[in-house]
Homo-oligomer: A and B are copies of this chain.
Amino acid sequence: MRKVIVRVKGRNYPIYIGWGIFDEFPKVCLSHKIKPHIAIITDTNVANLYLDKLLKILTKSGYKPEPIIVKSGESSKSLSIAMKIYTRLIEINLRRDETIIAFGGGVIGDLAGFVAATFLRGVNLIQFPTTLLAQVDSSIGGKVGINHPLGKNLIGAFHHPAFVFSDVALLKSLPQREITCGLGEVVKYGIIKNKKIFESIENDAEKILKLDPKIITEIVHKSVVVKSTIVEMDEREKKLRMILNFGHTIGHGIEASLNYKKLKHGEAVMLGIVGESFISLKRGLMNEKTFERIKNLICSLGVKFPKKLLDKEKILTHIGYDKKIFSERLNMYLPLGIGKMKFVDDVKFAEFEEAVEFLFNFEKLRQNSK
C-alpha cells in the first residue's frame, strides 16, 4: 500500500493507493480514530458490486455503517438529492464528530463531499473512490459540489477528507468506457505536468486499458502525485490550481449543452483538451506536431464527438456561464508542449468559438487517424 501525503491548510492527510487493498480499509479507519457510527453514501452501481463486502468488513471491525444509496449518474449531483441525504442523516442522527464515507465515483465524491461540508456546518469525510476518474482526480483536493441546471459545480465548497482510500483493483469492474474516461484526466496530467505519464499511455495503451496491475497502479500513483502537488502549491499561489482546469472550460460547455447526458465527464474533458490545445496552436504557443500527438493519443482512446447531438450555440452559451470565466477575457493555462503550460490572461470568447468550430470536425479527424 503506497501513501501520498497532501499538505493543505496547516494539516496533512494521506492518500492510500494499492492493488487489492480493500480488506485493509477498516484497519485504516481505526488508525484514523474514525468513530463507530458512519454513513456510507454510494450509488446503485457501486452498491450492487461492493456494498455488502464493505458493510461486512466494517461491521466485523466494530463499525455501525448506515448506507444511503442514490441513483447512479450525474443527475444525482443535485440540490434535491442533497436534500434527501440531509433528511436521512438527520433520521439516522449522524452527529458532528461522526463520519460520511463517499463510496463511489466522481459524482458520489462531489455529492457526498458537499453534504459533508454543509451538514451541521461540516462533518468528517472519507473519500473511497471506485472509478479511475475519482481515484486520480475528483477525490483529491477538497473541491466538492453539486450542479445547477444552468451549469456544473456552480454550488460547492472546499472540504478536505480525513483520508482517501484507493483500491485500484476495483477498476476491474468498470466498463471499458469508464477506464477511457479516467484516462482523459491522466492524459491531462501528462500534458500539464508529467511528460512520462503521457509517454506511458502512448507506449503501453493496451496494457493500461487491460488494467495490468503493476502499470495501472503506477499510473494512478503518478497521477495522484501530480494532482496533490498542484493542490499543495495552490495554497501559496492562488492561480496555480487553474492549471487543473485544462480541458475543462470547453469540456463543461459540451457536457452542460447535453444536460450532462450521453457524454461522460472524462470524454467531455478529452474533447476539451483537444479544443483548448487548438487555441494554443492558433496562438502559436504549440507546434503542429505536438497538437497531432495529442489528437492521436485521444483518438486512440476511442473518444467520440457526438456531433449530431450537439449544438454549437448551446455549447458556447454554457462556456459563457462557466464559473471560471470571471472577466471579459479569460485567465487560463494553455499548453506549450507535453508537460509544459503557460498562464495567459487574455483569451477571447472568439477563440472558444473557433475551437468549438474545430471540434465539430473532430469525428472526421478520428476517422482519418485510424
Contact = CB atoms under 8 A, between A and B. Distances in A.
Interface residues of A, number: 31
A154 B119 contact: yes
Given A95-B327, A323-B96, A327-B95, A154 B120 contact: yes
A157 B83 contact: no
A90 interface: yes
Interface stretch (A14-22, A69-77, A145-153): A145-153
Listed from nearest, the 10 A-B pairs whose CB atoms lie closest are: A95-B326, A121-B156, A120-B323, A90-B150, A96-B326, A118-B155, A86-B148, A79-B83, A118-B157, A121-B157
Nearest to A97: B326
A83 to B, nearest CB: 6
A87 to B, nearest CB: 7
Most B-side CB within 10 Å, residue of A96, A121, A326: A121
A83 B155 CA distance: 9
Interface in A124-171: 143, 145, 148-151, 153-158
A321 interface: yes
A268 interface: no
A2 B158 CA distance: 34
Interface in A322-342: 323, 325-327
A274 interface: no
A158 B121 contact: yes
Contacts of A26: none
Contacts of A143: 121
A155 B97 contact: no
A117 interface: yes
Contacts of A122: 157-158
B145 A121 contact: yes
A149 B83 CA distance: 10
Contacts of A158: 121-122
Interface in A173-192: none
A149 B143 CA distance: 27
A369 to B, nearest CB: 38
A34 to B, nearest CB: 15
Contacts of A118: 118, 155-157
Interface in A311-370: 321, 323, 325-327
